[in-house]
Structures are given as C-alpha cells and as structure tokens.
C-alpha cells in the first residue's frame, strides 16, 4: 500500500515526487516502477548518501517521497527525513493508502501536525501521529505489529557479554 500514493499522484497528473527506494526496489538503481502501470519514475537508492542527494533535489524544488519505516511494519520510524525537511524549511505531508470497504485502495494526503518540523519535539509528535495513522489502518486489517513495549518483554536482555560468561566459569 505504501506505493499507492505515487500511483495516485501520477494518475492525477501532478508532478511525481522522487521516491527514496530500498535496494532491490529500483531499476538500475535510478528508477522506481509505479505499481499497476508500465511507468517508472526517477528514484534515489537508499544508502549512505541518500540524505545528501535528497537535500540537493529539495534545493532544486523537487518533491521527495520516502517511507518513515525502514522495513515493512517497523515499530520505530526513521526521523532523518523529517529532520532534513525541517532544516530545509520544506513542508512534510503524510500519504497513506488503505483498502476501502469497496475493495478500492483509498489514498489520502494530509499535512503533518507540525508542517515544518522546527524542533525535535515537533518531529517526535509527527512520527507519533504517523504511527497512529498507520496503526489505525493495520487495526482495520487485524495486522497490528508488536509494540516496542511488547518486543522488550519478549526478547531476553543480555546482562553480560558471552566473553564475560566464559571467563567467569558460568555455563
């Protein structure tokens, strides 16, 4: 569903943002296929220099699209794109795709609660708002991922390194 907003923008004839796409999601590292079409659009490969390339495109007035979660259904979101938007003074919009009751994907675009991400607190509030929107969609699908508190409870905490355990004679 994360790619549906790109398709919607393309279908409506608006300038299509350049997506930041994970390796393996681009064609030749430079283009991203648009779901349900034969079209592909310029893309940035995610990697060590992605933020610098995003900054260059934003300086030229090009819109950027990127996912807040690095991997599908991550519990934590990446704040760096919002931090970059705040430094550059460009607005942050949320684009969400969800399956409607009629079987058609509904795509919504809305301003982030703090459009210009001026402070770390505003960035965190934006991420929380986006997380809640994503989780609301997943609740409808009965597919809500484990929450960070649950993850901490289910993963054992290592209090000493394996080397320390070996040195102490504890097996």
pLDDT mean values, one per 10 residues, the chain (171 residues): 85 94 85 92 91 95 88 81 95 92 92 97 96 88 67 44 46 44
pLDDT given for residue 149 in this prediction: 56
First to last CA, the chain: 48
pLDDT given for residue 17 in this prediction: 95
CA 94, 46, 41, 98 dihedral sign is negative
Model pTM score? 0.77
pLDDT given for residue 148 in this prediction: 59
21 closest CA partner among 82, 74, 64: 64
106 closest CA partner among 133, 144, 131: 133
pLDDT given for residue 166 in this prediction: 45
């Amino acid at each position: 569903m994360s790619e549906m907003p790109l398709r919607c923008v393309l279908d409506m004839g608006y300038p299509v943002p350049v997506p930041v796409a994970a390796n393996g999601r681009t064609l030749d590292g430079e283009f991203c296929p648009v779901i349900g079409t034969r079209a592909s659009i310029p893309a940035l490969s995610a990697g060590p220099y992605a933020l610098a390339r995003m900054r260059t495109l934003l300086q030229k007035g090009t819109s950027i699209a990127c996912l807040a979660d690095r991997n599908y259904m991550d519990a934590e979101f990446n704040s760096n794109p919002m931090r970059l938007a705040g430094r550059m003074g460009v607005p942050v919009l949320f684009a969400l795709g969800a399956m409607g009751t009629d079987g058609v994907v509904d795509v919504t675009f809305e301003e982030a609660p703090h459009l210009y991400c001026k402070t770390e607190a505003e960035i965190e509030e934006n991420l929380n708002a986006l997380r809640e929107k994503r989780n609301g969609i997943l609740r409808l699908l009965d597919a809500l991922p484990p929450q960070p508190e649950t993850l901490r409870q289910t993963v054992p905490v290592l209090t000493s390194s394996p080397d320390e355990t070996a040195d102490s004679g504890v097996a």
